[in-house]
Chain A
Amino acid sequence: MAKETIVIGLGNPLMADEGIGVVLIERLEALAREGKIPGADRIQFYDGGTGGMNLLHVLAGRRKAVLIDCARMGTEPGTIRRFTPDQVQTIKQLAHLSLHEVDILKVLDISRQLGECPEEVVFFGIEPLEICQRIGLSPLLEKQIPYCLHSILRDIAPAL
């Protein structure tokens, strides 16, 4: 039986700040293990890697999906923004529909057509400072992690 909420971290941790989604999922999983997230038994934390059509399957059967990813939003590096699919005009300019570069909005579209899309979908975008071949975040984003965790936890565990 799929857990009610899925929190998906996207990105590649070998590409500096591009891996912020995966890093945040690891930290959230650690907090859940330590019993610091109320209701964590109803939440699945998922390292979605570079995403793509595989996300279709992990979205199925949930009430709520939270997607965390590095995002170029034209804001200050380190900024975290919460938004929903209807607040976004286009989420990926290179919507090639390859397996990796699949537009997440299109995955949600297919999921809706199949009648299995979560009723609530939320994105957290984090503006990167550096995208390059390197393991580890920039010091700026590393410093922002507590604030990012706070923002996400406020959404997935309001009792906190």
Chain B
Amino acid sequence: MSANIQINVHHVTRLEGHGNIVVNIRNGTIEKCQWQVPEAPRFFEAMVRGRRWDDIQTIVSRICGICSITHSLASTKAVEDALGLQVSEQTDMLRILMHYSEQLQSHTLHVGYLVAPDLFGEKSVVPLVGKAPDAVKKIIKAHRIANQWSDLLAGRTTHPVTLTPGGMTKIPTAQELKDLQKTLKEAVPDLVAICEVVHSVADRMPAFERPTEYISLRQDNPPTYTFYHGDIVSSDGYGPVHIRDWESVANEYVSPQSTAKWCRWHRDSYAVGALARFNNNGHLLSPLGKKVADMFGLKKGCCNPFMNNVAQLAEAAHVVEASIELIDKLLTKGLKEEKVKVTPRAGRGSGCVEAPRGILFHTYEFNKKGECIAANICIPTNQNHANIQKDFEKFVPEYMHLGEDGLRHGMEMLVRSYDPCISCSTHMLNVTFVK
């Protein structure tokens, strides 16, 4: 075992935004072990102040280029809560179908493009194209289907244009839904094949465990593996808590090693994401989702953070099956154009949905003209930062025998397993021309 280890990973790769890993071990003693978040604040809560109720979704959808549908749904629900708007059953079902598309899109991206290279011993998905072309092609195909699905329901792949408080600005035709359903049915064998490929290298996931409080939505009426409705619950048995009271769950606080706020509820930290949803709702997964979980031996009560990626695969299978069923319901009921009329009023409202990487909260307050006067947004990755730190504190002493490179790689994989999305604000090119 190395007595001295110095790890200073400045910006972990293959995750969203910037996070640093710092570990100092001297003579076998851990002197420093930190998950640092150096991202600049992004001021979205300030940006929406003074904006009208019908501007909010367009602005906050740009918080993220991966889960823009999720941010749009959470903000639209929050605005509807503040303005006292009820949506129709059809709108509700179409939005859930839209949200499922983003779950598949994001999970496929994360497991396929970011986690799989670790398991195959590659630095990125680029060399994987040559090494495992069939698997990569299936991943890309699944991702492409999810993108086209988002296009159909949200109006485009990212930054939706079909959502409006109270309803939808555009709905798909019955034929478009039938075509989508056919595509989803045909996608099932590919999804199973992707899971089998990941399973063939799953023994490279560390068998690391740390008892953790897992927080997610839970919907009891009707019992549903939910991403969209329900109350907040904890795997420690606390809740249900109404989503309007989310601040009493998140308990955000400032940590000196992070520009992002951290969260805790009953323990020093808690985790959100696919594994949290599985631990709280796993018995409600679709048959294929359960089959995938069983394939990897994923069981309720699992506290291995690396298994979050397995839970993501189970959810990818689940959303496809659940959508096939949802489309049947929509077609049976028949689609109809619905008009939305909104009268602004003063009020405060909250919206909550499960982003692919965990529970997401939006709260807004409006004056009587319908202008936003206050906002509070709590993203899933903020809720996971403290838990990543606590995992590090257990992981480092258990895996320091791997030496500097092995420990660093394990810690990077651990961070990536959370599917963090620290920041996604810019996309500027830095160009150097060939002389």
Contact = CB atoms under 8 A, between A and B. Distances in A.
Interface of A: 10-15, 18, 47, 49-54, 56-58, 60, 69-73, 83, 86-94, 96-101, 104, 106, 109-110, 113-114, 123, 125, 128, 131, 133, 135
Contacts of B156: 47
A99 B137 CA distance: 18
Interface in B399-425: 424-425
Contact of B431 (A51, A57, A71, A109): A71
Contacts, number: 145
Contacts of B113: 53, 97, 99
A97 B125 contact: yes
Contacts of B43: 133
Given A89-B433, A135-B47, A110 B125 contact: yes
Interface stretch (B12-20, B170-178, B335-343, B377-385): B12-20
A15 B129 contact: no
Given A52-B65, A54-B147, A57-B143, A100 B126 contact: no
Interface in B54-73: 59, 62, 65-66, 68
A137 to B, nearest CB: 14
B158 interface: yes
Contact of B425 (A15, A86, A123): A15
Among B126, B157, B431, the one with the most A-chain Cβ atoms within 10 Å of its Cβ is B431
Nearest to B110: A99
B1 interface: no
B42 interface: yes
A99 B109 CA distance: 8
Interface of B: 11, 13-17, 42-43, 47, 59, 62, 65-66, 68, 109-110, 113-114, 123-126, 129-130, 137, 140, 143-144, 147-148, 156-159, 424-434
Contacts of B125: 97, 110
B62 A12 contact: yes
B428 A49 contact: no
Contacts of B129: 110, 113-114
B375 to A, nearest CB: 14
Contact of A106 (B65, B110, B126, B431): B126
A106 B13 contact: no
Given A53-B109, A87-B434, A100-B66, A109 B126 contact: yes
Nearest to A70: B428
A123 B429 CA distance: 11
Contacts of A125: 429, 431
Nearest to B63: A14
Contacts of B430: 71-72, 90-94
Contacts of B110: 99
B16 A69 contact: no
Contact of B427 (A12, A106, A133): A12
B432 A90 contact: yes
Contacts of B432: 88-90
A125 B431 CA distance: 9
A69 B431 CA distance: 11
A10 B65 CA distance: 11
25 contacts: A11-B428, A12-B426, A13-B62, A47-B159, A50-B427, A51-B65, A52-B66, A54-B158, A57-B157, A71-B428, A72-B428, A87-B433, A87-B434, A88-B431, A88-B432, A92-B430, A93-B430, A96-B11, A96-B13, A97-B113, A97-B125, A99-B114, A100-B17, A100-B427, A113-B129
B413 to A, nearest CB: 15
A54 B67 CA distance: 12
A49 B156 CA distance: 11
A131 B428 CA distance: 9
B428 to A, nearest CB: 5
7 smallest A-B Cβ distances: which pairs?
A: A50-B65, A71-B429, A50-B427, A89-B432, A97-B124, A93-B430, A113-B129
A53 to B, nearest CB: 6
A50 B424 contact: yes
A10 B424 CA distance: 13
A73 B433 contact: yes
B429 A12 contact: no
A104 B429 contact: yes
A109 B130 CA distance: 11
B429 A92 contact: yes
B17 A98 contact: yes
Given A71-B429, A93-B430, A99 B66 contact: yes
A148 to B, nearest CB: 15
Contacts of B144: 57, 60
A72 B47 contact: no
Contacts of A123: 429
Contacts of A49: 62, 65, 68, 158-159, 427
A83 B143 contact: no
A18 B143 contact: no
